[in-house]
Amino acid sequence: MELWPAIDIVEGRAVRLVQGDFARVHDYGDPLELARALVGRGAERLHVVDLDAARDGTGHNRAVVAAIAGAVAVPIEASGGVRSDDDVEELLGAGAARVVLGTAAVEDPEFLAGCAKSHPDRVVLGLDYRRREDGELEAASRGWLRSSGRTVGEVLAEAATLPLAAVVVTAIERDGTLRGPDMAGIASILETTALPLVASGGVGVREDLVALASLRSPAPGRALAGVIVGTALLNESISITEATEACTQSA
C-alpha cells in the first residue's frame, strides 16, 4: 500500500480543511517549502490538490502545483479543477506523474473515458463521497460543495474497463478529522471495483494505516493500492517513516 502525503492549496497557501469545510481551515505555510520538507522527511510521492480550482473550476494555484512538480524528485499526483483536455495536458506537461479527475469525471463520464484512453495509467478517478440516509455512498462534486446525485457504485461501474492509474476515494465526513478512516465504506468499495483503489480521509494514528493495509476484498483477495494522509503527517503525529512502515504491515 503506497503512502501519498497530501498538500492541499487554497489562495497559494498549504492548508487542511475539516470535513471539506472551507470555513474550517488550518494553515501550514508555503506549499513549495512544505513539499520539499515532506520529501526531505522521506516522502516518496505527493498528492497535491488545488482546492480553489476544485471549488470553481479555475486553476488559481496551477503555477504552485507546477512549481512543486518541478522542484521535487518524486512522483506528483495533481488534483483539483481538472475539467478539460488542456488542463490534463498542462499538468502532465508541468511534470505531474498523474492527474486526478473528480468533478469532471462524475459529471461527464465520456470525458473521463477519453482522457484515460489518451493517457493510459496516468489518469486517476477521484471520488469524494458522503453516506446517504439510505446507506448508499453518494459522490460529491465541485470541491465537496455539491452532491452529484450519483452513487459511487454507479460511477465505478462506468469506469470499470478504463486504463486508469487508480481510483481515489475520499470519505468527506472523515477528512481532516483524525477520527480514523471509513473502514466500512472503503471495504465495500474495494469489493465493488477491480480498479486500483486509494483510500483517503480520517487517518490519525499508525493503527489506522495498519488496518487499511490489512483490508482485503473477499474475492480475489485484493488489497488497497494506496492511502492519502494529510493532517497526521503535517502535524507530525505520525512520521513519514512510521507511516511508510505501517503501510506494509497487516493486523
Residue 94 burial by Cβ neighbours in a 10 Å radius (0-12, 13-18, 19+): middle
Residue 179 burial by Cβ neighbours in a 10 Å radius (0-12, 13-18, 19+): middle
Q: How far is CA 225 from CA 19, 52, 200, in A?
A: 23, 27, 12
CB 224 within 8 A of CB 248: no
Residue 114: how many CA atoms within 13 Å on its side-chain side? Answer: 11
Say whether 128 is catalytic: yes
Which entry of 8, 50, 175, 182 is annotated as an active-site residue?
8
Helices (H) and strands (E) counted in the chain, each on its own, are 11, 12
Cα–Cα distance between 240 and 229 in angstroms, integer? 10
Query: Which residues, listed in sequence order, are joined to residue 56 by a DSSP beta bridge?
Result: none
Which entry of 50, 52, 87, 128 is annotated as an active-site residue?
128
Say whether 85 is catalytic: no
CB 172 within 8 A of CB 197: no
Q: Which amino acid is at 202?
A: G
Of the candidates 97, 30, 47, 50, which has an alpha carbon nearest to the alpha carbon of residue 70? 97
CB 109 within 8 A of CB 158: yes
Residue owning grid cell 501550514 = 28
Residue 135 backbone zone (phi > 0: left; psi -120 to 50: alpha; other: beta): left
Q: Give the residue numbers annotated as catalytic, written as ranges.
A: 8, 128
